[in-house]
Amino acid sequence: MPTFAIDVASADDVQRMANWAGDEGWNPGNTDAHAFFANDPGAFLIGHLDGEPVACISVNRYGPGFGFLGFYIARPTVRGKGYGIKIWDAGMARLKGRNVGLDGVVAQQHNYTNRQNS
């Protein structure tokens, strides 16, 4: 049975996440990841399937009441297998009790609204 583990991302992982965003056609600012990482180094989470990075999310905390979610990506080879939602849930747990803003994909809005900050 495959093993899925979620860890705090390293600086190299954060660069990988930015590259994945580019693969998706997203255009995060060239220095956005650096600013987010400086604000909240534990905010970047990466999911590994049998040691291979396959999913990611950033969940920055700003003070006690606000959070921002971005870089929510599951690699195409693992989409539809539940790994994306596992990293989403881990990220939202990190932002529990905060108002959360997020970058999103229009075609996925129904998925964002159907998940609650539990």
Which among 103, 111, 4 is positioned nearest to 60, based on CA atoms? 103
DSSP per-residue codes, 14-62: HHHHHHHHHHTT----TTHHHHHHHH-GGGEEEEEETTEEEEEEEEEEE
- What is the strand order of the sheet 4-8 is part of? 4-8, 44-49, 52-62, 66-74, 99-102
In a domain, 32, yes or no: yes
Q: How confident is the model at residue 28 (pLDDT cuts 50, 70, 90)?
A: low
32-86 pLDDT, tens digit per residue, is 777 777 888 899 999 999 999 999 999 999 999 999 998 899 999 999 999 999 9
pLDDT at position 64:
92
User: Could you give the number of structural domains in the chain?
Assistant: 1
Q: Pick the residue with more confidence: 109 or 2? A: 2
CA distance 5 to 87: 9
Q: What is the CATH number of the domain that holds 79?
A: 3.40.630.30
- The mean pLDDT value for 85-110 works out to 88
What range defines the domain where residue 21 resides?
4-113
Q: Quickly count: other Cβ atoms within 10 Å of residue 94's Cβ.
A: 19
In a domain, 97, yes or no: yes
DSSP 76: G
Question: Residue 94: pLDDT above 80?
Answer: yes
In a domain, 118, yes or no: no
In a domain, 94, yes or no: yes
